[in-house]
Amino acid sequence: MKPRDLLDLTLLAALWGGSFLFMRYAVPDFGVVPLIWLRVALASVCLLPLLLLKRQFGALRQQAGALTVMSLFNSGLPFLLIAWATLSITAGLASIMNAMTPVFTALIGALWLGDRLDGRRGLGLLLGLAGVALLAADKADFRPGGSGWAIVAMLLATACYGFAANHTRRYLQGVPALVNATGTQLVSALVLLPPALWSWPERMPGLGPWLATLVLGVACSALAYLLFFRLIARVGASRAVTVTFLVPVFGTLWGALFLGEPVTASMLAGGAVVLLGTGLATGVIGGQRSP
C-alpha cells in the first residue's frame, strides 16, 4: 500500500473503533432505537447530496428491493444489536467481537453461495469461534443484569454483516458503492423513524451525548463509508478488509482512554485468537489475496 492508503486504513479503523465508544457513551441517554435512527439519518444527510451530485439516484431507485434487504442486515439490525449490547459490555469487548464479521461472511458464503472452504479457512472459522468462547467464558451470565445476552447480540450482529456481504455479492454486484452506502443508511432511517419517535427520550440528552451522536453519524458512518469504498477502489477488497485487524485495537484503546474500561488478559488472549481465525478465514494469513 502507498502511504496515503495506509493513512486511510488507519483513519478508518480509528473511526470504526470509535463507533463503539460513542454508542456506549450515548445510548443510555437516547435509548437504542433513537440513537441508531440519529446515526443513520445523519449519515443519509451527508451521503444523499453526493449521490445526487453524481447523478446516481436513479440506480438507487432501480435497486430499491435489494437495497432494502441489505439496509436491514448491514445497518439497521446490527446497529441496534450492537448499541443494545454496549449497555452491558465494554466498547473494547464489543469491538473485538465485531472482528467475527469476516468469519461469518466466509461461513455464510460457503453455505449459501457455495464458496469453497479449504482446510485453512475451516481452521480459521474454528479458531474464531474458539476466540469468542474464550472471551465469553467469564462473562456469559444470562441472569438479570448479566452480559450473556449482550454477547449473543454481538454475534447476531456480526452474522447480519456476514449475510449482508454475501447478499451484496449475489444481488448488488456492479452497483456503485455510493449507491449501496447511501441506500442502506437512507432506508434504515425511514424504517426506524416510527419506532424512534415512539421511544424518544422524555428528557432531552445533554450536549455530550448529542456531540457523540453527531460524530457517530457524520464521521463513523458517512466519512467511514467513503474511506472504505475509496480503499476498495484503490487497493482492492481483500486488502481493505484488513481494517478488521485494526478496529479492535482502536476500540479497546478508546474505551480504556476515555471510559476507563479495563483491558484484561482474557480480552487480549481471546481477541488474538479471534483475529488469527479471521486472518485465516479471509486469506489475509497463509493464503493468496486478490488485488
pLDDT at 290: 42
Residue 260 lies in a domain: yes
| Amino acid 99: pLDDT | 84
Per the structure, the count of domains in the chain is: 1
- The mean pLDDT value of the chain amounts to 87
pLDDT of residue 288: 53
Return the pLDDT at 291.
41
Q: Is residue 289 part of a domain?
A: no
Q: Does some domain include residue 201?
A: yes
Domain that holds residue 69: 3-282
What pLDDT does 236 receive? 67
Report if residue 291 sits inside a domain. no
Please tell me what DSSP assigns to residue 283: T
Q: Measure the CA–CA gap between 280 and 127, rounded to whole angstroms.
A: 9
The pLDDT of residue 103 is 83
In contact, 269 and 216? CB cutoff 8 Å: no
Q: Are 243 and 6 in contact (CB under 8 A)?
A: no
> What pLDDT, on the 0 to 100 scale, is given for residue 143?
67
Do 286 and 280 meet the contact criterion of CB atoms below 8 Å apart?
yes
Q: Is residue 287 part of a domain?
A: no
What pLDDT was estimated at residue 230?
79
Q: Residue 290: inside a domain, yes or no?
A: no
Q: Is residue 104 part of a domain?
A: yes
Nearest to 150 by CA among 89, 73, 101: 89
Residues (pLDDT < 50) of the chain are 289-291
- Whole-angstrom Cα distance, residue 7 to residue 66? 33
- Tell me the chain's radius of gyration from C-alpha atoms: 18
Per-residue model confidence (pLDDT) at position 131 = 81
